């Protein structure tokens, strides 16, 4: 029933066919660009608060949460109308967040405050603030919902939060400027990318011990400019696609051997990414060139660039 409501409303807006979309936040334009996956074109541009970065949908896709960093708030938007339904208290300068599997608690990194804020999206109140390292950024939550992760860019750590007690139970060092964290779908591994370190650290979730590290080498690009940021796993978890920042490439990493298999040339300063519903296409946000590159996942090549707003940052799928 819940899924039907946006469907009907969308019909009322007379869109010819319901196709999946990629939502991209434009950090320097205060907008979201909506890309239609069928046509690979921007079909809507929606205004947001100031400096939108992190973006994620509720589990039923009836709401979209947007970190409006410079407005110091998380906006809750109706994806059908593009209207802001309400705002959530987020703590100062929210940059990234992750929605707990319970579909209710948002874990938010407050970049300027060295704090992770936990917000209840139903009561719209802050239920906890957890002190973490300087410049928290990457956020992840384990599939079973028991562990939340914050990475801190200047402290260079992954902070492991027990979601029940909402306290840190481990802090693990990674290389310089950790930007993004993801659990594998089974939850047995945590991956953390380090932008300045140029690596991804792979941790065993149970022991929080580092079990591997991935390095990158792009031909013709100085190693200093190969800076891993966002990454996503394919459904079979055999491959991770890793955005390599100012090297303007995305790496395809074998998730078992941790070896890089391919480098794909994309737009400038590639940042984050999102898959199409069947994971046949990958959409990367390219901050400096202000566009989104569409990658054919099977062929591992870029097939199109789509102009969006200034400094596209986050990307999320709306199926």
> Of 267, 268, 263, whose CA–CA distance to 252 is shortest?
263
Stretch touching another protein by CB under 8 A, among 8-16, 53-61, 71-79, 168-176: 168-176
Report how far residue 317's alpha carbon sits from residue 22's, in angstroms, rounded to the nearest whole number.
Answer: 5
Q: Which is nearer to another protein, 6 or 197 (CB)?
A: 197
Report how far residue 74's alpha carbon sits from residue 120's, in angstroms, rounded to the nearest whole number.
Answer: 12
Binding residues among 27-86 for another protein as defined by CB under 8 A: none
Stretch touching another protein by CB under 8 A, among 39-47, 121-129, 154-162, 301-309: 154-162
| Residue linked to tokens 């890309």 | 35
**Applying CB under 8 A, does 166 fall inside the site for another protein?**
no
Stretch touching another protein by CB under 8 A, among 12-20, 190-198, 256-264, 276-284: 190-198
Report how far residue 256's alpha carbon sits from residue 270's, in angstroms, rounded to the nearest whole number.
Answer: 24
Which token pair is 134?
A: 């300087």
**Applying CB under 8 A, does 279 fall inside the site for another protein?**
no
> Of 139, 140, 149, 158, whose CA–CA distance to 199 is shortest?
158
**Applying CB under 8 A, does 91 fall inside the site for another protein?**
no
Q: How many angstroms separate the Cα of 289 from the Cα of each of 89, 220, 281, 283?
A: 32, 20, 20, 14
Q: x-or-dash pattern for another protein, window 200-239, by CB under 8 A?
A: ----------------------x-xx--------------
Q: Which is nearer to another protein, 20 or 196 (CB)?
A: 196
Phi, psi for 143 (deg, rounded to 5) = -60, -30
Q: Which is nearer to another protein, 70 or 262 (CB)?
A: 70
Site residues (vs another protein, CB under 8 A): 111-112, 114, 131, 133-135, 153-157, 159, 168, 171, 173, 175-177, 195-198, 222, 224-225, 246
């Amino acid at each position: 029933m819940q899924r039907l409501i946006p469907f009907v409303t969308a019909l009322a807006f007379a869109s010819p066919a319901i196709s999946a979309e990629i939502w991209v936040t434009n950090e320097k334009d205060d907008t979201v660009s909506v890309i239609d996956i069928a046509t690979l074109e921007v079909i809507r541009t929606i205004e947001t608060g100031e400096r939108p970065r992190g973006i994620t949908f509720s589990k039923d896709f009836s709401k979209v949460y947007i970190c409006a960093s410079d407005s110091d708030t998380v906006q809750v938007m109706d994806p059908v109308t593009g209207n802001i339904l309400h705002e959530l208290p987020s703590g100062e300068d929210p940059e990234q967040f992750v929605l707990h599997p319970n579909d209710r608690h948002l874990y938010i990194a407050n970049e300027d405050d060295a704090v992770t804020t936990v917000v209840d999206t139903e009561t719209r109140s802050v239920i906890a603030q957890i002190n973490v390292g300087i410049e928290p950024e990457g956020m992840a939550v384990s599939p079973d919902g028991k562990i939340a992760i914050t990475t801190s860019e200047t402290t260079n750590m992954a902070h492991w939060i027990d979601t029940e007690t909402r306290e840190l139970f481990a802090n693990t060092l990674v290389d310089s400027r950790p930007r993004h964290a993801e659990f594998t779908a089974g939850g047995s591994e945590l991956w953390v990318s380090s932008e300045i370190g140029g690596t991804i650290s792979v941790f065993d979730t149970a022991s929080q011990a580092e079990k591997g590290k991935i390095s990158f080498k792009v031909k013709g690009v100085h190693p200093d400019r190969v800076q891993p940021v966002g990454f996503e796993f394919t459904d079979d978890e055999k491959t991770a696609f890793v955005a390599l920042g100012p090297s303007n490439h995305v790496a395809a990493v074998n998730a078992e051997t941790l070896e890089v298999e391919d480098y794909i040339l994309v737009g400038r300063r590639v940042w984050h990414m999102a898959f199409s519903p069947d994971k046949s296409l990958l959409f990367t946000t390219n901050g400096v060139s202000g566009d989104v590159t569409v990658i054919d996942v099977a062929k591992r090549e870029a097939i199109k660039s789509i102009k969006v707003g200034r400094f596209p940052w986050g990307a999320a799928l709306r199926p």
